[in-house]
Amino acid sequence: MPTDQSPEDRYHYAVIARALKTIDDAGGAPLALDDLAERLSMSPAHFQRVFTRWVGVSPKRYQQYLTLDHAKRLLTERRTLLDAADEAGLSGTGRLHDLFIRWEAMSPGEFAKGAEGLTMRWGWFESPFGPALVMGTDRGISGLAFAGETGAEAAMADLRGRWPKACFVEDPMALRSWVLAAFGAASEPAPVLAIGAPFQIKVWEALIAIPPGHVATYTDIARRAGYPQAVRAVGTAIGRNPVSWLIPCHRAIRKTGGLGGYHWGLPVKRAMLAWESARAEAG
């Protein structure tokens, strides 16, 4: 997290990131509380308190959310009815209902220029899902990548390659408050400026309609975006979403309940879905 968090909070945030990775690395084999705590050099009682505070449920309960069966249950019991969400005003250009984010899309003309003339500020931050690279203009966050699986160099090259004509300036302090809001540590909304082609923007708007703790199939998202016959192209657009987590492409899964792919690595996607399910239950 940004440096204005207390040393204790920064330490605990790093602990949780390591804990999520340790659980995922186990490949579905359940890890006992004592084993997890030992790996993180903490007492079981202390680790349980810290984990429950940040995630919302116990480590044992959290691990239950990482199974394929859980993904299937989400699909059958808690999948999003996108039409109903649309009627409730949960999509489009309004404030995101789940993360309190202001959504704005770049115009087609701006996109066609390759972000020419834009100053793109960037910085590295800790997140519950590992190191996060955040980029943004003066209008909002435009890029959010997770480097735990891909590596820092690949994440940087990926985001920079999306806006080849922008001017990139390292300035994490300019992004700090937005990052705090993005990961639920601030009350003010974090603005998002999505930079993409018109087709991609429509797909990303459909993703925004999926509430946390829910999932939708690629077919459902294609239908909601207005392209029911273009499921493959819609899947590609989902994968090209530059603002991971905030535009929730991790909530798209296969109709079989399988997770499908994820641009920043399946372990990150599993952690995000489990994190959201845990918080939805705790709430």
Neighbours of 108 (CB within 10 A): 12
User: Per the residue annotation, which of 179, 181, 249, 268 is the catalytic one?
Assistant: 249
Is-catalytic flag, 249?
yes
**Sequence-separated (6 or more) residues with CB below 8 Å from residue 8:** none
Q: Is 232 exposed, middle or buried (0-12, 13-18, 19+ CB in 10 A)?
A: exposed
Q: Where are the beta strands (DSSP E) in 66-109?
A: 101-105
Classify residue 26 as exposed, middle or buried by CB count within 10 Å of its CB (0-12, 13-18, 19+). middle
Cβ burial of 168 (10 Å; 0-12, 13-18, 19+) is: middle
Instruction: Tell me which residues are annotated as active site.
Output: 249
